């Protein structure tokens, strides 16, 4: 009864009190600048779609997006230099957003990845010109039925879907908030803000549109299903702790909450709420990460989506989702460590092994990279399980290294083309090294980095993660990880052998000469791969300094 009375008194007093008693929220605009810049630019992008003539939209959108991402990255660097990553780390926006080392590190990574991804989005020299207009990887008019008259008219008129730029920025805004969210509501809203634009981007391919739409439907239905589970998990955790704030929930889990109301005393004793809620919440995050058994969407979506979108999605979503998962496990549920660790052990082992083994049977290069992404999610989970500060920093480093390799690898995939668009079947890649040694060599570098060969960023990342896992008491996991890496190395090397040591087919694909945009994307990918592989020390220290969560 007392709880009921309390709610009623809330309503009545709120109505009787003068409005002036409501305190205005205190928002630290400076600390939220990276996100605010990106959201503002996305809204400007929509206005550009509405008011700027069609001919010049592409250039205006490109300009707005590049400036916004660069400015947001600059403000992340400024915040970090100001000490917000270490000494001044704190909670901003009335407890909704955490500004701390991991958040800033991951936001910086996401912004750089998005900038490189943006270059691959804007590439307009790969497809042959249609009716004298340069075209990119996106449908002329997404609403027209594939193969219909209206589609042909749209192509003839030179329409392009420049909406992809604001969509990209909205997705980036969600990704920036996702690893920094400090209450469960912000987490959920950020998840949706990052997911919804990605569902749309998946449906926008210029070639193979049926496959692209199919990928979008699969991604959308499964993504919405997973976020419903996440939301129910949030509801149960809210019911358990009576609050959405990460810090309060953590206190309730540990039993150190200062003030226990009668209602809280009732729900606190109910472990079912806590365990089921945490399980559903983690499940929703593991779906975004692409961990087995929640990985079913990954191969189809990666294959069907336009390749620039696949690259961006594979890199940036993984960074954001692992950031959110780390914060949930390390800030909210450290008191539940003995319950989640065994489960995550099992998930990590299954993810590494299934990703590596199933990838062997793949014949499509994009599907192969999708399964490789799954097994990499398993390697990163091994670092997450460590539950030590070095575990956090190794995961941060791995994510930074992995995202650039991924985006570079998918950028190379866009170059190898035949009459039907991108030639993604592996058999068509035979002898690519003879025909185009440079492209094949670059792709080989990325594959070696995926495999974790020394002197590439993949090795430095894997070493850091496995070391942290072993120190955190997960030695068997490291053994499985090394075996899975060996299996994975087999199919990466197989692709390299196929490219360099087999005869090219007479009707094989051609390698398109890209504009400086894609060249930059691939160049940055190679540079980061080599630098992080040869001299990782500075970046490892950077990740090490950034490895402490604020609570």
| Residues lying near another protein in the complex (CB under 8 A) | 2-4, 6-7, 10, 142-143, 145-147, 185, 188-189, 192, 196, 199-200, 203, 209-211, 213-218, 220-221, 224-225, 228-229, 231-232, 234-236, 238-239, 242-244, 261, 263-264, 266-267, 299-300, 303-304, 361
Strand 90-92 and strand 416-418: the pairing is unpaired
Q: Report the residue number, 273 or 405, with the smaller CB distance to another protein.
A: 273
CB of 144 to another protein, least distance (A): 9
> Minimum distance between the CB of residue 221 and another protein, rounded to whole angstroms?
6
- Residue 173 vs 526, nearer CB to another protein: 173
Q: Based on CB atoms, which residue is closest to another protein, 229 or 463?
A: 229
Where are the strands (E) in 233-378, listed by range?
Answer: none
State in angstroms the smallest separation of the CB of 12 from another protein: 13
> How far is it, in rounded angstroms, from Cα 48 to Cα 61?
7
Of 127 and 183, the one with the shorter C-beta distance to another protein is 183
Q: Which is nearer to another protein, 47 or 185 (CB)?
A: 185
How far are the Cα atoms of 19, 408, 420, 425, 493 from residue 430, in angstroms, in the given order?
Answer: 72, 20, 18, 10, 13
Q: How far is the CB of 406 from another protein (least distance, A)?
A: 20
Neighbour-count burial for 170-200, b at 16+ CB within 10 Å, e otherwise: bbbbbbbbbbbbbbbebbbbbbebbbbbbbb
3-state secondary structure 517-533: HHHHHHHHHHHHHHHHH
Bridge partners for 83 per DSSP: none
Q: Which is nearer to another protein, 188 or 402 (CB)?
A: 188
The dihedrals phi and psi of 364, each to the nearest 5 degrees, come to -110, 130
- Comparison of 86 and 152: residue with beta carbon closer to another protein: 152
Nearer CB in complex with another protein: 302/450: 302
Q: Min. distance of Cβ 545 from another protein in angstroms?
A: 35
The Cα–Cα gap between 166 and 158 comes to 20
End-to-end CA distance of the chain: 34
- At a CB cut-off of 8 Å and minimum separation 6, what does 3 contact? 262, 263
Q: CB nearer to another protein: give 192 or 545.
A: 192
Least spacing, CB of residue 89 vs another protein, in Å: 25
Q: Which ranges in 20-133 belong to alpha helices (H)?
A: 33-51, 54-81, 101-121
How near is the Cβ of 138 to another protein at its closest, in Å?
14
| Least Å from the CB of residue 225 to another protein | 5
Give how far the C-alpha of residue 121 lies from the chain's centroid of Cα atoms, to the nearest Å. Answer: 16
Least Cβ distance, residue 213 to another protein (angstroms):
5
**Element counts in the chain: helices (H) and strands (E):** 23, 5
193 membership: H or E segment, kind and range: helix 184-202
**Least separation, in Å, of the C-beta of 229 and another protein?**
8
Beta carbon nearer to another protein, 199 or 549:
199
Cis peptide before 293 (omega within 30 of 0): yes
DSSP string, 213-242: HHHHHHHHHHHHHHHHHHHHHHHHHHHHHS
**Distance in Å, CB of 91 to another protein, minimum:** 17
Q: How many CB atoms lie within 10 A of CB 54?
A: 12
Q: Is the separation of the CB atoms in 38 and 72 below 8 Å?
A: yes
Radius of gyration of the chain (CA): 24
Total residue length of the chain: 551
- Of the pair 35, 303, the CB lying nearest another protein is at 303
CA gap 345, 351 in Å, rounded: 10
Considering the complex, state which of residue 361 and residue 510 has its C-beta at the smaller distance from another protein.
361
With 0-12 / 13-18 / 19 or more C-beta atoms within 10 angstroms meaning exposed / middle / buried, residue 420 is exposed
Q: How far is the CB of 233 from another protein (least distance, A)?
A: 9
Question: Residue 522 CB, nearest distance to another protein (Å)?
Answer: 26
Nearer to another protein, 261 or 520 (CB): 261
Cβ 190 to another protein shortest distance, Å: 11
For residue 131, count CB atoms less than 10 angstroms from its CB and return exposed for 0-12, middle for 13-18, buried for 19 or more.
exposed
Nearest to 373 by CA among 445, 427, 297: 297
If the CB atoms of residues 358 and 521 are measured against another protein, the closer one turns out to be 358
SS3 482: helix
């Amino acid at each position: 009864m007392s709880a009921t009375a309390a709610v009623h008194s809330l309503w009545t007093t709120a109505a009787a009190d003068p409005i002036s008693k409501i305190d205005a929220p205190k928002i630290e605009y400076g600390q939220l600048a990276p996100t605010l810049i990106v959201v503002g630019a996305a809204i400007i992008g929509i206005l550009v779609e509405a008011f700027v003539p069609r001919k010049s939209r592409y250039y205006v959108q490109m300009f707005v997006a590049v400036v916004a991402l660069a400015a947001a990255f600059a403000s992340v660097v400024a915040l970090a230099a100001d000490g917000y990553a270490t000494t001044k780390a704190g909670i901003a926006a009335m407890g909704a957003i955490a500004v701390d080392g991991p958040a800033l590190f991951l936001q910086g990574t996401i912004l750089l990845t998005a900038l490189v991804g943006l270059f691959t989005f804007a590439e307009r020299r790969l497809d042959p010109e249609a009716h004298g207009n340069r075209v990119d990887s996106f449908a002329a008019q997404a609403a027209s039925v594939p193969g219909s008259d209206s589609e042909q008219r749209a192509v003839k008129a030179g329409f392009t879907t420049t909406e992809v730029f604001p969509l990209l920025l909205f997705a980036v805004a969600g990704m920036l908030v996702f690893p920094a969210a400090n209450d469960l509501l912000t987490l959920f809203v950020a998840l949706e803000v990052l997911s919804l634009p990605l569902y749309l981007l998946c449906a926008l391919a210029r070639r193979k549109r049926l496959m692209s739409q199919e990928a979008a439907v699969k991604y959308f239905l499964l993504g919405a299903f997973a976020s419903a589970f996440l939301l129910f998990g949030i509801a149960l955790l809210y019911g358990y702790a009576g609050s959405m704030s990460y810090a309060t929930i953590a206190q309730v889990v540990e039993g150190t909450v200062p003030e226990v109301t009668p209602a809280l005393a009732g729900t606190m004793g109910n472990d079912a709420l806590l365990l089921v809620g945490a399980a559903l919440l983690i499940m929703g995050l593991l779906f975004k990460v692409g961990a087995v058994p929640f990985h079913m969407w990954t191969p189809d979506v990666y294959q069907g989506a336009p390749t620039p979108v696949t690259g961006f999605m594979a890199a940036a979503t993984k960074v954001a989702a692992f950031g959110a998962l780390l914060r949930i496990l390390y800030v909210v549920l450290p008191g539940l460590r003995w319950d989640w660790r065994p489960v995550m052990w099992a998930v990590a082992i299954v993810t590494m092994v299934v990703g590596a083994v199933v990838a062997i049977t793949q014949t499509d290069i994009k599907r192969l990279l999708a399964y490789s992404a799954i097994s990499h999610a398993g390697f990163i989970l091994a670092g997450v399980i460590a539950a030590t500060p070095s575990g956090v920093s190794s995961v941060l480093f791995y994510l930074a290294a992995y995202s650039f390799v991924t985006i570079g690898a998918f950028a190379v995939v866009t170059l190898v083309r035949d009459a039907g668009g991108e030639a993604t079947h592996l058999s068509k890649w035979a002898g690519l090294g003879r025909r185009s040694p440079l492209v094949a060599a670059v792709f080989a570098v990325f594959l070696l980095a995926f495999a974790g060969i020394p002197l590439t960023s993949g090795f430095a990342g894997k070493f850091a993660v496995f070391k942290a896992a072993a120190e955190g008491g997960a030695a068997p996991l490291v053994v499985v990880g090394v075996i899975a890496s060996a299996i994975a190395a087999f199919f990466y090397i197989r692709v390299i052998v196929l490219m360099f040591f087999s005869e090219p087919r007479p009707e094989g694909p051609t390698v398109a000469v890209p504009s400086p945009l894609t060249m930059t994307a691939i160049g940055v990918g190679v540079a980061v791969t080599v630098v992080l592989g040869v001299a990782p020390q500075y970046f490892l220290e950077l990740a090490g300094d950034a490895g402490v969560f604020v609570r």
